[in-house]
Amino acid sequence: MASLALKLVRRRSLRSAAPALRSLSDCLMRLRGLRSPRPRALFAPFCWVAEAEMDGRRWCLHQPVRHGSTTVTLNTDGGFARFAVADAGTKQKADRRQPPAKGKKKMSRKAKVNQLKWYRLKAKKKMKSPNPEVRIRYKLEKAKRKEEWLIEKLRKYEVLRSLEPVHDPEILTEEEKFYLKRTGEKKKNYVPVGRRGVFGGVVLNMHLHWKKHETVKVICKPCRPGQVYDYAEELARLSKGTAIDIKPNNTIIFYRGKNYVQPKVMSPPDTLSKQKALEKYRYEQSLEHTSQFIEKLEKELEDYQKHVALFKNREGTSGKISSADITVDDLTTSSDTESE
């Protein structure tokens, strides 16, 4: 209570002293030949006076300051004295309200929808065009864009080969090869290579089979003609095994080696995972069908252009023939009239 009473007494003393301070500042301004300032607030707990000399005169500013919440600046550029009084909070707000830097204007959702509608309408007009060449060219451009997109996607699945020493397969005699072929054919252990192709899981399964068997069969289905030789070369490089025999039914028999030691990492790091191998296969299949479709459209466009050129040639020849007939008829009629 005592501290509260002291605060109230101080405030009352400041309020009582405020009119006297203001009258004193007015008198000083009149003595210096300046106009009295505009009426200020009755309650000004603190006063701040700024003075500056310019052109032989002294300028004075009387401004109430409320506990440091206002900022007063003096600017003398251009031969004039200018004072600026602003609130610190308003200055910060003004800085915050500054417009952002100009960049790409964001499109609203409605604008995006309208743009898509415009593109769809344009494509629909081309698809329903009465001119066959316009329709074929639109399909061809669309297929080529898709082909470029698929090639970009497939670049992400390219795996760089690790810098490892070249695998030197063991030299086997004809008798050893014959024995290993017979044992490989009799045994039932096998590793399938499906549509994903060669990936880390195939090599892992081969090493797991080699733990108890000397040979393992790798069955490649589905397999294009000649692709089984590429699979055999790739698996021999990754597994460090030896391809003994490649059969017509796309089956490869691999031998683990005489001094085989199971590696710590059975799945090589420079191979794709099961999921990524499937994604790569889908993109490759789509690229193959797209390239075939492009060839078909190019052939159609070429045939149509040949047909148009042939039709124009026929029209020109028919016009020439008709003009020649007319001239012949004119000549015969003129000769008949002369004979008469």
pLDDT digits (tens, 9 = 90+) for 204-220: 999 999 999 999 999 99
Residue 89 has pLDDT above 60, yes or no: no
Q: What is the percent of the chain with per-residue pLDDT over 90, rounded to a whole number?
A: 37
Confidence label for 123 from pLDDT (cuts 50, 70 and 90)? confident
Confidence label for 171 from pLDDT (cuts 50, 70 and 90)? confident
Q: Taking residues 37-41, report their average pLDDT.
A: 48
Among 38-52, 140-154, 165-179, top mean pLDDT goes to 140-154
Residue 333 has pLDDT above 70, yes or no: no
Residue 46 has pLDDT above 50, yes or no: no
Of 47-56, 84-93, 245-254, 272-281, minimum mean pLDDT range: 47-56
| Cα–Cα distance for residue pair 103/282, rounded to 1 Å | 39
pLDDT score recorded for residue 41: 45
List residues bridging with 85 in a β-sheet.
Answer: 72
Average pLDDT of the chain to the nearest whole number: 77
pLDDT score recorded for residue 311: 83
pLDDT score recorded for residue 43: 42
* Residue ranges of the chain that CATH labels 3.30.110.60: 174-271
Q: Reduced to 3 states, what is the DSSP secondary structure of residue 223? A: coil
Check residue 177 and give left, alpha or beta (phi > 0: left; psi -120 to 50: alpha).
alpha
Residue 129 has pLDDT above 90, yes or no: no
| Cα–Cα distance for residue pair 157/334, rounded to 1 Å | 84
pLDDT score recorded for residue 65: 47
Which of 271, 294, 280 has its CA nearest to residue 150? 280
Residues with Cβ within 8 Å of 103's Cβ and at least 6 positions away in sequence, in order, are: none
Q: Has domain 174-271 been given CATH number 3.30.110.60?
A: yes
Residue 190 has pLDDT above 90, yes or no: yes
Among 51-60, 65-74, 82-91, 136-145, top mean pLDDT goes to 136-145
- Burial 79-113, CB ≥16 within 10 A → b, else e: eebeeeeeeeeeeeeeeeeeeeeeeeeeeeeeeee
Structure token digits, residue 162 = 């690790």
pLDDT score recorded for residue 9: 47
- Higher pLDDT pick, 225 / 331: 225
pLDDT score recorded for residue 100: 55
Confidence label for 320 from pLDDT (cuts 50, 70 and 90)? low
Residue 240 has pLDDT above 70, yes or no: yes
CA distances from 339 to 142, 175, 326, 333 (A): 71, 109, 20, 10
Residues with Cβ within 8 Å of 230's Cβ and at least 6 positions away in sequence, in order, are: none
pLDDT score recorded for residue 170: 78
